Amino acid sequence: MSVTPTRLIRNFSIIAHIDHGKSTLADRLLEATGTISSRQMQAQVMDSMELERERGITIKSKAVRMRHGEYVLNLIDTPGHVDFSYEVSRALASCEGALLVVDASQGVEAQTLANANLAAEVGLKIIPVINKVDLPAADVERTWEQISGILKIHHDPILVSAKEGRGTDEVLAAIIKDIPAPQGDPAAPLSALVFDSTFSVYRGVVLLVRVVDGKAQKGMKVKFFSTGQEFVIEELGHLNPKQVPAHHLSAGEVGYMILGIKDIHQVRVGDTVMESARPLAAALPGYKEAKPVVFAGVFPINPADYTALTYALEKLNLEDSSFNYAQESSEALGFGFRLGFLGLLHMDIVKERLEREFDLSLIITAPNVIYRVKTKGHWKVVDNPAKFPPHGDIEVVEEPFVRLTIMLPAQFQDGVLTLLKDRRGEHIGIEYVPGGSMLIVYDLPLSEMVINFYDRLKSVSKGYASMDYIPVGNKASDVLKLEVLIHGEPVDALSQIVHKDKAYRVGKALCEKLKELIDRQMFEVAIQARIGGKIIARETLAARRKDVLAKCYGGDITRKRKLLAKQKEGKKKAKMLGSVEIPQEAFLAALKISE
């Protein structure tokens, strides 16, 4: 097989806000180029995961090779949700251009802006595509005003209806005409960027790579730049979108490699693959490492499932290396793991996959963020409320902040600004944009975002607001550890880190909710919220009373008094020795208490 000249290769990505139609546009491109026959075609063919289809979102980046005339088009489909921006950054590092899809009825939204900025940072040629022009609510003129005004993109837009297939030929023509060909040299030493990886039970780790320079071929001895580990290429090829083996991958091409690696932890996504015989002096640029920002404890409801959960996490981490996990034990919940996620949606997706794909029943504790705590002149990092230092030892606490960009119609600004103020937001700027929309920029504590912020934002804006965020470092903050005591015993899994101004409200709400959920015992149970050594809220769960006088139909009053005194002594003894079982719903309720 001859080497494809780089002048005939186009590598591009499709970027968009969630639900603006990028997966549907990808379907039309696959149909128009004959990559998938009409018999094989199904909606969102690139979204192969059941969860992706059910939720209508893209979770994993996908790559597919198409032929259009003499040209080879390599499409890398990316997620749209803010939690998966790490997937977007990896995909963009493998491309020369991007199709920026904007919904004609919604206009430019926050993640449209964020993804366009990501593409501009790595120097990609951006082609604006206005989708859903067939909808009655479509406003093409307003959408184009926003694209040129907010995004500063002046390329003529392509009008399409991905659902109907209108405008597909124009998109293909623009890809060939406007997106530059890759600049690699097939004769140079091999350098290939690993932009993703998957795991096959039979073949081991499957690397998705973009060859920048040189030529990779079957049997070649290669090594990773970061670890220096060497392997032999067992198989390589293209994705159409299934794996199609080839004899080689040359400069500019996108495809897969199988090196016989059985442990995905030997592979770092974003690493550079090079030929062992001709090693490189420097790694390829353009990759940002994913850093978990939200942490939560995950425990099996049935303690006997701990081994199964361990196996499930190992298997899932082979496919999604962006979450990390470590063993953890809780007095209330037993043995489990502490997981780090890229955001709340990422946490939800991982939990859902663990439950569905491995048939596990799990409980997840209230999510929290990483705090930096200074005690006795030394800084330490705390990602678990149960490990927060005693209140009297703390000198300074710093919590992570994010810069939040919200796009919304101007009529909803009052509700959104009130929400931001309630969540301790710090005003950065407001900008009014064409078409009656506005751009709000605020700095917000990440801890205020991880509990239900997105749902509340959608609620106060009637679904019209969209958001994106980037980390902006840590700031000193008055946060405290809120402990919950049940019958005098602290329950570590219900501990939370809360701001001083909200401590009483959260503690009182948590005690009231636990009173509803915990079953009454034969003795009185105190449910308390504590900060340091001070109880700030209390609810009392009354004892369940057995009618010991039911069998006394008459007789002397002293007999009744003796029975009541005996019952009182029994309750006193039970209160000293008794323990309270906390239902699983109590831990789930803690997730929503901040509201």
- Taking only the tens place, the pLDDT of each residue in 192-234 is 988 877 777 788 888 888 899 999 999 999 998 888 889 999 9
What are the start and end residues of each CATH 3.30.70.2570 domain in the chain? Answer: 480-592
pLDDT of residue 513: 84
Cα–Cα distance for residue pair 2/250, rounded to 1 Å:
10
- Tell me the fold of 480-592: Alpha-Beta Plaits (3.30.70)
Average pLDDT, the chain: 81
Cα–Cα distance for residue pair 440/404, rounded to 1 Å:
8
- Taking only the tens place, the pLDDT of each residue in 245-303 is 998 899 889 899 999 888 767 777 778 899 988 888 788 875 556 677 788 888 888 88
Residue with tokens 């209160």: 575
The angle at the Cα of 357, spanning 352 to 361, to the nearest 5 degrees, equals 60
pLDDT of residue 117: 81
- Taking only the tens place, the pLDDT of each residue in 117-176 is 888 888 889 999 999 888 888 888 888 888 888 888 888 889 988 888 888 999 999 999
pLDDT band at 572 (very low <50, low <70, confident <90, very high): low
The residue that leads in pLDDT, 459 or 188, is 188
Cα–Cα distance for residue pair 503/482, rounded to 1 Å:
7
The three-state (H, E, C) secondary structure of 303-361, written as one string: HHHHHHHHHHHHHHHHHCCCCEEEEEEECCCEEEEEEEECCHHHHHHHHHHHHHHHCCC
What are the start and end residues of each CATH 3.40.50.300 domain in the chain? Answer: 6-178
Range in 337-341, 396-400, 552-556 the model is least confident about: 552-556
Query: What is the mean pLDDT of the segment spanning 315-319?
Result: 75
Cβ 31 vs Cβ 46: under 8 Å: no
Q: Phi then psi for 571, rounded to 5 degrees?
A: -65, -40
Residues of the chain with pLDDT > 90: what percent? 13
pLDDT of residue 343: 74
pLDDT of residue 50: 52
Query: Which of 196, 189, 177 has its CA nearest to residue 251?
Result: 189
Question: Per DSSP, which regions of 434-508 are E strands?
Answer: 437-445, 466-476, 479-486, 489-490, 496-499
pLDDT band at 436 (very low <50, low <70, confident <90, very high): confident
pLDDT of residue 577: 47
Listing DSSP states for 117-181 in one string gives: HHHHHTT-EEEEEEE-TTSTT--HHHHHHHHHHHS---SPPEE-BTTTTBTHHHHHHHHHHHSPP
Mean pLDDT is highest, among 83-87, 223-227, 309-313, for: 309-313
Cα–Cα distance for residue pair 514/528, rounded to 1 Å:
10
- Taking only the tens place, the pLDDT of each residue in 401-420 is 988 888 888 888 999 999 99
Domain made up of 6-178: CATH architecture: 3-Layer(aba) Sandwich (3.40)
pLDDT of residue 170: 93
Query: Looking at domain 191-275, which of 2.40.30.10, 1.10.1200.10, 3.90.380.10, 2.160.10.10 is its CATH number?
Result: 2.40.30.10
The residue that leads in pLDDT, 45 or 217, is 217
What is the crossing angle of helices 22-32 and 168-178, to 10°? 90
What are the start and end residues of each CATH 2.40.30.10 domain in the chain? Answer: 191-275
Cα–Cα distance for residue pair 595/593, rounded to 1 Å:
5
Cα–Cα distance for residue pair 333/587, rounded to 1 Å:
10
Cα–Cα distance for residue pair 66/5, rounded to 1 Å:
15
Cα–Cα distance for residue pair 154/478, rounded to 1 Å:
46
Question: Per DSSP, which regions of 240-282 are E strands?
Answer: 243-246, 248-250, 254-258, 272-275
Residue 430, beta-bridge partner list: 440
Q: Phi then psi for 185, rounded to 5 degrees?
A: -115, 115
pLDDT of residue 48: 47
What are the start and end residues of each CATH 3.30.70.870 domain in the chain? Answer: 294-364
Q: Is the pLDDT of residue 595 over 70?
A: no
pLDDT of residue 498: 85
Strands 294-300 and 334-341, sheet pairing: antiparallel
Cα–Cα distance for residue pair 481/390, rounded to 1 Å:
8
What are the start and end residues of each CATH 3.30.70.240 domain in the chain? Answer: 372-476
- Taking only the tens place, the pLDDT of each residue in 476-526 is 888 888 888 887 888 877 788 888 888 888 888 888 888 887 877 777 788
CATH class held by domain 294-364: alpha beta
Cα–Cα distance for residue pair 531/514, rounded to 1 Å:
18
Q: Is the pLDDT of residue 45 over 60?
A: no
> pTM above the 0.75 mark?
no
Amino acid residing at 388: F
User: Would you give the DSSP letter of residue 530?
Assistant: E
Cα–Cα distance for residue pair 373/473, rounded to 1 Å:
14
The residue that leads in pLDDT, 36 or 473, is 473
Cβ 539 vs Cβ 486: under 8 Å: no
pLDDT band at 52 (very low <50, low <70, confident <90, very high): very low
pLDDT of residue 174: 93
Q: Is the pLDDT of residue 435 over 80?
A: no
CATH class held by domain 372-476: alpha beta
